[in-house]
Structure 1
Amino acid sequence: MIPSFRSRTAIPLDTQTAGAGHRGRGRHTVLAAFLAFGMALGASSIAHAADQPFDAWLEGVRAEARQKGISDATVQAALTGIQPIPRVIELDRRQPEFTLTFQQYLDRVVPQSRIDKGRRMMAEHKALLTRIEGQFGVPARQIVALWGIETDFGRVTGGFKVIPALATLAHDGRRSAFFRKELMDALQIVDEGHIDADRMLGSWAGAMGQNQFMPSSFRAYAIDYTGDGKRDIWTTLPDVFASIANYLSRVGWKSDQTWGRVVRLPAGFDAGLAEKKARKTIPEWQALGVRRADGGDLPARDLPAQIVLPAGAGGPAYMVYDNFEAILKWNRSTYFAIAAGTLADALGKE
C-alpha cells in the first residue's frame, strides 16, 4: 500500500479510472493529494537528480546503498544494466484527471461481482483468516476487502520491475527524495532475501504484491507468517493476509468496533459539523436527531464518532468511528475508506 499521498496511485490497479484521490466533496479529482504532495517534495529533492546523466546518478545510488550496509552482491544484481523506463515517466506525468461522483466511485470499486468473489475467497480461506483475525484483532472481512480493492484478490498486482521503476522516479527529480528512500528500502528487502530483484514486481510507482505495499510499508508492516524467513506478499497468502492485518492493527484498529455506518440525518442538519470533522459521542449525535439508515435509534455505546458527507450536503451520510481513521492511514481518500468499509460489511453478510 502506498503511503498517504497515494502514489499507490490511490486507485485500485484494476480500476484505474476509479478516481480515488484525497478527500473531496461532490466530485472527486484523481490524485489531487498525490500531486500536491509531490510538488512539496520536489522543492527539497536531492540535488537536481535529473540534471545528472542516469548512469552517473546511479553511481551515487550504489555508493549510498553500500554505505547503508546493503551488500555489494545485491547492489550489483539489482542495479546493473537498469535504465529509466519511459512508460513510468509517462504514467507519472499524465495521470488522469477523471472525476466521478461518490456513487459512481462506489459502484465501480464495490460491484456485486467483487462482493461475490470476496465471499468465495472468505469461504476458501476461512481457517487461515479466522486464525489471523484472532491474532491481530482485525476482522477477516476487512482484510479481504482491502485485498480485493487493491488487486482484485491478487489478480492484478502490477507488471513493472520495482527497482528500475523507483530508480526512474528517483532520478526524474520531481519527488527524488521520496522515491530515492523507497529505492533504498527496496534494495534492503532484496538484500534480506525476501525476493529476488527480478521477481520484485509491482505498480509503476513501486507498490508491491497482493496488498500493494510500498517498500517502506513492507519494511514496517509486512509479516513472515509462515516462518520460512521471507515476507512474501507476492505469492504467499498467509503473509499477504497477516501483513494487511498487522498494518491495520499497528495504526490503531480497535477490535471491539466497526468502521462506521450509513445514517439518516434530520432535516436542517448543520453540514458544517461534518466539514469541521466535529467529534461527538453516539448518544450526542442521537440527541441531534441522527438515526440509523432505517430510522431506528443509534447504538447506545458511548463512542466518539463523526459525520462524513462524501458527496456533500444532501448526499449519503456516514457516521464513522476510530477504525475509519485506521483505514485512512492505509489510503487518505475518504472515498476509498468508505468503499473498503462498505465492501467489508457486504462480505460479512450471508
Structure 2
Amino acid sequence: MGVLTRVIAGLALCALPLSTWAQCGGGFNAFKSGLAAEATTRGIAKDTANAFLSGVQQDPKVLRADRAQGVFQRPFIDFSRRLISQNRIDAGRANARKYNSIFDQIEQRYGVDRHVLLAFWAFETDYGAFQGDFNTANALVTLAHDCRRPELFRPQVFATMELFAQGGFDPRRTTGAWAGEIGMVQMLPQDILINGVDGDGDGAVRLKTSVPDALMSGGKMLQHLGWRAGEPWLQEVTVPAQMDWSLSGLGTVMTAQDWQERGVRARSGSLSNLPASLILPQGHKGPAFLAYPNFNVYFEWNQSFTYVLTAAYFATRLDGAQIYDAGKPDTGLDGAAMKRLQSKLQARGHNVGKIDGILGAGTRAAVQAEQKRLGLPADAWPTPALLNKL
C-alpha cells in the first residue's frame, strides 16, 4: 500500500528535542543545511550527511500522493473485496509452499504465523512485484520539510543516513513507496536499522531483492512490535439480533465466555480462550469478528482501521478461513457526508482528528457515543439516520 500511518519505534539517535532546529518549511536548501548540521550532533559524520543530501531534491509527486488517500474512505466490505482476489490467494498459497523452509524458520525464531506475513507481502507489494519507484531519499526529505508530520519523517531521514553510512542505502538509486518504505514488505529506515535480518546469509540485508531477507526482517519487526507466538489474531463470529452494541469496538475487552453469554458464536470452530474485542466494521447487520491481542500489533504496522482489518482477515483466509458473511448492513455515508458528520461530531466536542471523510478510530468512538446518547444501536457505524439526528 505504501501509506505511512505506521507508529515508529524510537531510537537513541533520535532523542534530541524537536526545537533544536527549524523542523519544517522555509527554503528547501536551507532546510537541508539544517538537517546536515543536526546530523553531526547525532553522531553522523559531516561528510556522510553532506554526501547523502547533496543530490536530494523536493518531490511534488510525493506531496500529491500524501494528500490523495481516498481509498481509505471505502467501507470494509468494498475495501476488502478490492484488495482480496482469488489470484492473490492462489499466489499466497504458492509462495507459502515455495518458501516453506523460510517460513518455518520465521515461526520458530520469531513466532509469527506465515499467513500474517503473506498477507502483508501481498498488500504492500503484491509479493514483491510493485515496490514503488519514488526516490526514497527525496521522498523522506520532502515529507520532513512538509509541515504536516515532520515529527514522523525527520527521524527517518537520519535513520536513512545511518543506512547510507553502513553501505546499505544509495541516496541516488534506492527507490520505494512515496512515504519512504523500502522493499517487499515495505519497511521504513528506522525499522530496517532495528529489525533488518540477513536471511539468506550473503552478508547484506537486501529487502528489495532477497525474499528471505524481507520476510525474516518483517517477522522480526512484528515480534519487536509485540506479536505473541502461537496465538490467533482475528476470528469471524456471528452475533445475536439484539445485544448491547455499545460493547462492540476495540475499547471493550472481554473473555470468550463473556461473549458467549451475550450470544456471540464462532462461525466455525470454537472461540479462543483469550481476551477479545467485538469488531463490527459496518454495524451490527454486517460482518462480525473477534479481535484477539495480536490484532493490536497490526496498528503498529499501519494505523488505518480498514487496512488493518482487511490484512488480518486476509491472513485468516490464507490459513483456510471461509469468506466472511457480509450480512445486510445499513447504508453508510459517502465521503462528503462523512465529512459533514465529522464536523458535527467535532462541534459537539468529540476528537475526530482531521476532517477527512475517513471512518477512523476517533470518528468511530464519537459515532458510538452519539448513537448511545440518541438511543440508536451503538455499533459505531455512521448512517444517514444518525447524521439527520445530529
Amino acid of the structure 1 residue aligned with 2:207 = I
| Cα distance in 2 for residues equivalent to 1:274 and 1:126 | 37
Aligned position for 1:310? 281
Q: Structure 1: give runs of 5+ residues left out of the alignment.
A: 11-42
**SS of 1:304's equivalent?**
coil
- Which is worse superposed, 263-272 or 77-86? 77-86
Once the two structures are superposed, the pairs formed by residues 328-347 of structure 1 within 5 Å of their partners are 328-347=299-318
**C-alpha distance in structure 2 between counterparts of 1:176 and 1:260, whole Å:** 34
* CA deviation string 1:86-131 (max 9, x = no partner): 2122223444376322111110111111111111111111112112
Kept after mapping to 1: 8 A contact 2:5/2:304: no
CA distance in 1, matches of 2:77, 2:19: 38
Match of 1:116 in 2: 90
The answer as to whether partners of 1:163 and 1:187 remain within 8 angstroms in 2 is no
Q: CA 1:337–1:91 in structure 2 vs 1: closer, same or farther (change >3 Å)?
A: closer
Conservation of the 8 A alpha-carbon contact between 2:227 and 2:294: yes
Q: Secondary structure at the match of 2:25?
A: helix
2:4 is equivalent to residue 8 of structure 1: yes
1:50 aligns with 2:25: yes
Partners in 2 of 1:64 and 1:221 — Cα distance?
Answer: 25
- Superposition deviation, residue 225 in structure 1: 2.5
Q: In 1, distance between residues paired with 2:189 and 2:283?
A: 35
Q: Which amino acid aligns with 2:224?
A: R
Identity percentage of aligned residues = 34
In the alignment, structure 2 segments of 5+ residues that lack a partner are 7-17, 322-390
Higher relative CO (Cα under 8 Å, sequence separation at least 6) belongs to: 1
Amino acid at match of 1:141: H
Once the two structures are TM-superposed, the CA of residue 314 in structure 1 deviates from its matched residue by 1.3
From 130, 133, 143, the counterpart of 1:156: 130
Question: What secondary structure is seen at the aligned counterpart in 1 of 2:57?
Answer: coil
Contact 1:46/1:176 (CA < 8 Å) preserved in 2? Answer: no
User: Contact between 2:124 and 2:186, CA under 8 Å: does it hold in 1?
Assistant: yes
SS in structure 2 at match of 1:261: strand
- Equivalent position amino acid for 1:8 in 2: L
Once the two structures are TM-superposed, the CA of residue 337 in structure 1 deviates from its matched residue by 2.3
What is the CA distance between 1:73 and its match in structure 2?
4.2
User: Would the aligned equivalents of 1:195 and 1:232 in 2 still touch at CA under 8 Å?
Assistant: no
| Structure 1 partner of 2:40 | 66
CA RMSD in angstroms, aligned pairs only: 2.5
The two structures have a TM-score, normalised by structure 2, of 0.73
Q: Given the alignment, which residue of 229, 233, 245 partners 1:271?
A: 245
- Rg (Cα) greater in structure: 2
Q: Residue 349 of structure 1: SS of its match in structure 2? A: coil
Residue 96 to residue 345, structure 1, CA distance change in 2 (3 Å):
closer
Contact 2:236 2:266 (C-alpha < 8 Å) held by counterparts: yes
TM-score with structure 1 setting the length: 0.81
Given the alignment, which residue of 183, 186, 191 partners 2:165?
Answer: 191
Q: Between Structure 1 and Structure 2, how many residues are aligned?
A: 311
Aligned to 1:49, the other structure's residue is in SS state coil
The runs of at least 4 aligned residues of structure 1 exceeding 4 Å deviation read 43-46
Q: Which secondary structure does the structure 1 equivalent of 2:32 belong to?
A: helix
**1-side partners of 2:308 and 2:236: how far apart?**
13
